[in-house]
């Protein structure tokens, strides 16, 4: 049905905007070694991006409803490519650099801002995570762009 397609597009635009925005701002704060900025992002987003991740999952649900009610083939090449790209995105989110490195660093930044930990220690940790988290964010950009291109062009 057309309504599911509309809801899929709206929810995915929202989710991608939030997820890419959050991770990009975190990467910039880490790259700059800005402990206070990272703590501020945590205050705005929370420890986990629950809202944006939930919208992403809802968007996937609307996409599957679109396929089921729109006469599309669940096994069309472009949909299989989309499934693989989404699984890759979810796998990247589960990497230790994200789950342990970033989340631990965000907690440390919050503690440092509250005066419970030296800012310099957290800045050193940020420098150690700079490259690996930057690569994760760049991979997310590429995967989201590939999903969008796949949805628009339907190359397979």
> How confident is residue 63, by pLDDT bands cut at 50, 70 and 90?
very high
Q: Which of 104, 154, 151 is nearest to 129 (CA)?
A: 104
Q: How far is CA 19 from the centre of its chain?
A: 4
Q: How many CB atoms lie under 10 A from the CB of residue 19?
A: 19
Q: Which of 37, 35, 15, 36 is nearest to 25 (CA)?
A: 37
Q: What is the pLDDT of residue 81?
A: 97
- In eight-state DSSP terms, residue 137 is H
Give the model confidence (pLDDT) of 66-80 as tens digits: 999 999 999 999 999
For residues 86 and 147, the answer to whether their CB atoms sit within 8 Å is: yes
Give the model confidence (pLDDT) of 7-42 as tens digits: 999 999 999 999 999 999 999 999 999 999 999 999
CA distance 153 to 151: 6
Give the model confidence (pLDDT) of 96-150 as tens digits: 888 888 889 999 999 999 999 999 999 999 999 999 999 999 999 999 999 999 9
Q: Which domain holds residue 32?
A: 2-153
Q: Which of 110, 112, 113, 109 is nearest to 129 (CA)?
A: 109
- How many domains would you assign to the chain? 1
Q: How many CB atoms lie under 10 A from the CB of residue 124?
A: 12
């Amino acid at each position: 049905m057309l309504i599911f397609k509309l809801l899929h597009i709206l929810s995915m635009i929202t989710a991608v905007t939030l997820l890419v925005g959050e991770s990009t701002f975190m990467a910039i704060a880490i790259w700059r070694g800005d402990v206070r900025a990272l703590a501020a992002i945590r205050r705005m987003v929370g420890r986990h991006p629950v809202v944006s991740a939930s919208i992403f999952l809802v968007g996937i649900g609307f996409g599957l409803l679109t396929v089921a009610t729109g006469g599309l083939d669940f096994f069309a090449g472009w949909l299989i490519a989309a499934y693989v790209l989404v699984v890759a995105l979810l796998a990247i989110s589960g990497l230790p650099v994200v789950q342990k490195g970033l989340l631990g660093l965000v907690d440390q930044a919050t503690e440092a801002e509250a005066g419970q930990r030296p800012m310099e220690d957290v800045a050193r940790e940020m420098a150690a995570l700079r490259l690996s988290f930057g690569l994760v964010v760049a991979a997310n950009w590429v995967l989201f762009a590939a999903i969008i291109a796949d949805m628009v062009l339907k190359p397979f």
